[in-house]
Structure 1
Amino acid sequence: MDGSAEARVELLDGFSLERGRGGVYTAVEGLPQGAQRLIAHLGLCGRPTRAAVAGELWPDVPEDHAHGSLRSALWRVQKVVPGLVSASGGALGLANGVRVDVWDFKEWAQRALDPTADVDGTMAPRSALAAELLPGWYDDWVLLERERLRQLRLHALEMLADKLARAGRHGEAVQAACAAVHAEPLRESAHRALIRVHLAEGNAAEAVRAYQCFRDLLAHELGVAPTEHMEELMSRAHLGALGPRRPVPD
């Protein structure tokens, strides 16, 4: 099972596998759950050992049964897409030529987080805006990676919003910041990113509105006030009139 295979694996917004030939891809239908889980695990975990894969995917059965299930899953994958999984030195991995949407997403996020990367190379793909890793899957290895990708997405979107605002591309910056806010409505750093974009564009009223919406949401959901970081942001923008006004001396 060494070599390469032309295939695409999608794990964001659900599992799908496409085999390719000459740049033309065809969806693979009816792949058993065990084979799907094997492909997904290799797409997320690199090149683990056979023992690690068997133990992770079939943790509740005896070791020999787990290895038997792994051999069965490998056989089914090989039958559907020959060469998709490569085996080398006791480790398993997806072969050269396989594309995984999570890999593309991570590459985008790293570019977005790189302060030296040009903004033109960091535009958000569709998967960056809302897609969830393998919804409906509850394996521990999926849950851990889902949360890690969620955090990566949020930080990348906030950084991208700031980059785009500095480049004067305020409309795109608002979209990136709003995507972060939509993904986690109670995340203050996402709201601060949105407010910074409004202020960079000179829209003080929009900044005030965004602040007030977040303040009210936070009070309603958690019973707390925005942090000092948020208040300092508004204060630096000369928007102290958000709070109670002091009496004007006669």
Structure 2
Amino acid sequence: MPRTVLAGTLWPEVTEEHARGSLRTTLWKLPRGELPLVRCCGDVLMVAPALRVDVHVLTRTALGVVAGGAPPPYRHPPLGLLTGEDLLPGWDEDWVLLERERLRQLRLHALDSLAHTLIEQGRTALAMEAAWAGIRAEPLRESAHRVVVSVHLAEGNVGEALGHYAMFRTLLNEELGIEPSLRFTRLLGERLPYPTAPQHHDRRSTMPATVQNLSSSLGGPVSHVTHRVD
């Protein structure tokens, strides 16, 4: 990238002369080792080919997980997805905000996909780690909480599955004033061995018996949806 373009991108709110001066200072402060971080070719700057850029590694890894590129079962799951900070924390330039959110969403989707794959492989402890990494990044992300419940159910821990659902339902009500999705309640309703309850002529009679019993066990209706779930 030309120096002028790079300087204007990194320091857009100052004069061109000031921006180029800031760029020169930054380049001068870069560590000097056997392998340079940035190559200078006249007025053009480029990242050294041998340099490992964490953003590039994250992008390749996450896209591979989401696309199913890594051959299952994972011999070495890409657990590097479990940790990581947002892109350039503290920067508020427009280009950073867009890239930061794109990478955050990509990582969250990759964590969901990785967790589901690990559940299928019976590696529930690692699946739980992936799910909680997603929750730490976004506490209100339902898909990550569904994975936690799925892990508990896969392990036969029905009580913990119910407890986590109840915790998330309370959190969602307190923060957003809404209920978990019907997909979440169906996940529990289809997997729990509740006996069929007698049907009553009230507004809940059109809901599956398993979901009605789930509602009672959690102390209230699990959803405001009253149509039949096929």
Q: Residue 80 of structure 1: which of 32, 43, 47 is its match?
A: 32
Alignment of 1:185-224 (within 5 A): 185-224=139-178
Deviates more, 1:95-104 or 1:134-143: 134-143
Give per-residue Cα distances to partners, 1:85-120, cap 9 Å, x unaligned. Answer: 124596432102211222222232223213242323
* Aligned equivalent of 1:248: none
Identity of paired residues, percent? 45
Inter-partner Cα distance in structure 2 for 1:217 and 1:144: 28
> Relative to structure 1, is the Cα distance of residues 201 and 96 closer, same or farther in structure 2, using a 3 angstrom cutoff?
same
Shift of 1:236: 1.9
Q: Which residue of 14, 29, 47 maps to 1:94?
A: 47
Native 8 Å contact 1:108 1:122 kept in 2: no
Per the alignment, residue 110 of structure 1 pairs with 63
Structure 1: stretches of 5+ with no match in the other structure = 1-47, 246-250
Q: 1:244: which partner in 2?
A: 216
Query: 1:121: how far off?
Result: 4.2
Q: So what's the TM-score if we normalise by structure 1?
A: 0.68
- Structure 1 residues 49 and 201, CA gap change in structure 2 (3 angstroms): farther
Structure with the largest fraction of strand: 1
CA 1:158–1:71 in 2, change beyond 3 Å: closer, same or farther? same
Correspondence list, 1:118-137, <5 A: 118=71, 119-125=74-80, 128-137=82-91
Q: State yes or no: 1:145 paired with 2:117.
A: no
Letter in 2 for 1:242: L
Structure 2 residue runs of 5 or longer lacking an equivalent are 193-209, 218-230
Greater CA radius of gyration, 1 or 2?
Answer: 2
Partner of 1:243, secondary structure, is helix
Question: How far apart in 2 are the matches of 1:88 and 1:189?
Answer: 47
The superposition leaves residues 154-200 of structure 1 with CA deviations (integer Å, 9 ceiling, x where unpaired) of: 11111111010000111111111111112211111111121122222
Please say which of residues 151-160 and 198-207 is displaced more in the overlay: 198-207
Q: Is contact 1:130-1:179 (8 Å) kept?
A: no
User: CA-atom RMSD, angstroms?
Assistant: 2.5
Aligned length: 196
Q: CA deviation at 1:148?
A: 1.9
